[in-house]
Amino acid sequence: MSQRTRVPTARATARIPVEDIRPVPTRGGRASFDYEKITGAGAGNLILWFVVIGLIAWCLLYALKPTVVQKVGLDGLPTGDADTGKTLLGALLIALIITLIIWLLRSCR
């Protein structure tokens, strides 16, 4: 007879261990829950926010074509075509600023 091994089900693996939910003491003397460990909030989520916001900002800048991201002609005036390099730099700058704001708001919690 072969021994059957027990395969964990989705219900069994979805539970959060009790030791992850216990209160963690803080500097103020009060106990608070370690929500970062439970929710997975951390550097990985900030990188995801940066990528998503960067893609959205790039699409908006490329579609709306403000004069900042347009190519400049020989006469020094914008031509109406989007310069992808300027668009990418603008999108990265916007994503960095918004991600920094998100990080500051989450760290103040």
pLDDT, tens digit (0-9, with 9 covering 90-100), for 17-73: 655 555 555 566 555 555 555 455 577 888 999 999 999 999 999 999 999 999 999
Is the predicted pLDDT of residue 4 greater than 70, yes or no?
no
H or E, element range at 78: strand 78-82
Reported pTM: 0.62
Dist CA 36 CA 70 (whole Å): 42
For the segment 28-42, what is each residue's pLDDT rounded down to a tens digit? 655 555 555 545 557
Place of tokens 């006469």: 75
- Continuous H helices in the chain: 10-13, 18-21, 35-39, 43-64, 84-107
* pLDDT of 72: 94
The two structure tokens encoding residue 2: 């072969």
pLDDT confidence bin for 80, thresholds 50/70/90: very high
